[in-house]
Each structure stands twice: as C-alpha cells, then as structure tokens.
Structure 1
Amino acid sequence: METARAMEIYNSERTHKVKLDEDSVWIENVDESNGMATVMVNNNPVNTKTVSCDRLVEVDDQ
C-alpha cells in the first residue's frame, strides 16, 4: 500500500483489515518520510515489526 494510505488507516477512527504477508496486523505508527510502518502482528503486543508500507495490503471487508 502507499504510505499515504497507511497514514489514513493509522489516523482513522474505523478499524481496517490490513495484512503483512499472511498475518493480520495493526498499524501502530507510520514514518511518512521513510515510507515505513510499525505494525503489531496478530494482536500480539510483543510481536512488532517495522516494514516498508509497500508490504502492507488492505483487505476488503466484503
């Protein structure tokens, strides 16, 4: 996903489904200047990763 979209999701009051590879993630922070996002993997607060926003995929709710 584009960095701008990751930032929109991060700032949204709605919950959006986002995946990193096959794992569900929660966006905890977005570094717009570097195109990176810190995510929590599978609702596990001790499993966080900082990855390129390009690796994140928004999942349709349909």
Structure 2
Amino acid sequence: MDRTMLEARLDLLRREHAAGEERLKALDTQIAEQKRTQLRFAGAIQVLEELLREQG
C-alpha cells in the first residue's frame, strides 16, 4: 500500500472509532436512564404489594 492509501485507511478508522465512542456514550446514558426507571418500578411494586398485604 502506498502512503496515500494508508493515510486514507487511518482516517477512516479514526472516524469509525470516534463514532463508536459516541455510540457507547449514548448507550451508557440509555442504560443509566433504564436503571432509574427500573428502580421506580421496583419501588412502586413494593408499595402496592405492601398495600395489598395490609388489606389481607
């Protein structure tokens, strides 16, 4: 491969790597949001289960 081809390949790989990093950041944000949602669900479930137990 000549220098031009190597530089072009390097540029492409750097751009793909940067795009991958951005996607990972977005996924981390989605995971954090989903964990918060799951905690809210778990809390609501616990409250409702306790209310049902109290009503016998």
* TM-score scaled by length of structure 1: 0.19
User: Which protein has greater RCO, CA pairs closer than 8 Å, 6+ apart?
Assistant: 1
More strand by share: 1
* TM-score scaled by length of structure 2: 0.21
More helix by share: 2
Larger radius of gyration: 2
